[in-house]
């Protein structure tokens, strides 16, 4: 395979030996790959900046016997604001953890990478409510990776009228009468339903371009949390 040029974001990094690092890099075409970065912790290393947690950049990587090595990297965006604000860093770290968990090597992860970058950019550069950004990220991510909820009609009787509940048993909306007999379903407002549709169908660059009341944000937060944990069979907080 030789040397490959790719863009990517560092999802995780661990120290190895005295001066080296092992990095987890999410790329658009190779999927998520583990790469060693030799000497990256030496004070004058040219790999130091680009192999930091959550740095997005251009990487030249070499595939040896089953392992990738970072030959060089050029940071494009280091999301400096994350390093100044513990809350922002906490949310960005949650995003990186989830993305790390749902991606693998040899996948086309272009859309997941695009969502990750847009989300981390919003966390770093905007003053938008962090929990709200996180809710939007989760719903969109699940839709990309194969867990898009049914949001056009009641998933039991198919009506498009009186949609009132989000069902976690059947993954999507239910009408007033079908929702009432689904014990685990959550009653939600029309505005939250519209928000779900917007998050799932809007242009990737515009998914964060809307606002909600505190009450609707709370509904979205509850849905996204339960739905994520159920789809991925995890206990993310």
Residues that bind Zn ion (CB under 5 A): 154, 156-157, 175, 178
Cβ-proximal residues to 146 (8 Å cutoff; 6+ apart), any chain = none
Nearest in space to 117 (alpha carbons), one of 102, 103, 137, 101: 137
Residue 181 beta carbon to Zn ion: minimum distance, rounded to whole angstroms: 10
With respect to Zn ion, which residue has the nearer C-beta, 177 or 221? Answer: 177
Shortest distance in whole angstroms from residue 180 CB to Zn ion: 10
Of 23 and 175, nearer to Zn ion (C-beta) is: 175
Q: Which is nearer to Zn ion, 41 or 174 (CB)?
A: 174
Closest contact distance (angstroms) between CB of 161 and Zn ion is 9
CB-wise, 21 or 156, nearer to Zn ion?
Answer: 156
Token couple for 174: 């239910």
Q: Minimum distance from CB of 170 to Zn ion (Å)?
A: 11
What tokens appear for 5 in the block? 């040029």
- Long-range contacts: 150-159, Cβ < 8 Å, 24+? 151/193, 151/196, 151/197, 151/200, 154/178, 154/179
């Amino acid at each position: 395979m030789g040397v490959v040029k790719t863009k990517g974001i560092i999802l995780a990094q661990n120290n190895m030996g005295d001066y080296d690092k092992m990095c987890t890099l999410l790329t658009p075409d190779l999927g998520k790959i583990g790469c060693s970065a030799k000497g990256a912790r030496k004070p004058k290393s040219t790999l130091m900046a680009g192999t930091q947690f959550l740095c997005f950049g251009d990487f030249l990587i070499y595939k040896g016997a089953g392992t990738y090595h970072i030959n060089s990297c050029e940071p494009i965006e280091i999301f400096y604001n994350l390093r100044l604000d513990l809350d922002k860093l906490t949310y960005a770290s949650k995003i990186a953890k989830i993305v790390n968990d749902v991606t693998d090597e040899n996948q086309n992860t272009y859309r997941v990478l695009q969502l990750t970058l847009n989300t981390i950019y919003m966390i770093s550069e905007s003053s938008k409510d962090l929990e709200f950004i996180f809710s939007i990220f989760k719903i969109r991510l699940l839709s990309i990776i194969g867990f898009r909820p049914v949001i056009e009609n009641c998933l039991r009787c198919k009506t498009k009228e009186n949609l009132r509940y989000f069902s976690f048993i059947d993954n999507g909306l239910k009408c007033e009468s079908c929702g009432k007999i689904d014990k685990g379903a959550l009653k939600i407002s029309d505005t939250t339903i519209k928000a779900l549709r917007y998050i799932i169908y809007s242009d990737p660059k515009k998914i964060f371009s809307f606002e909600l009341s505190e009450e609707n944000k709370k509904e979205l937060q509850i849905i996204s949390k339960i739905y994520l944990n159920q789809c991925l069979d995890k206990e993310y907080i």
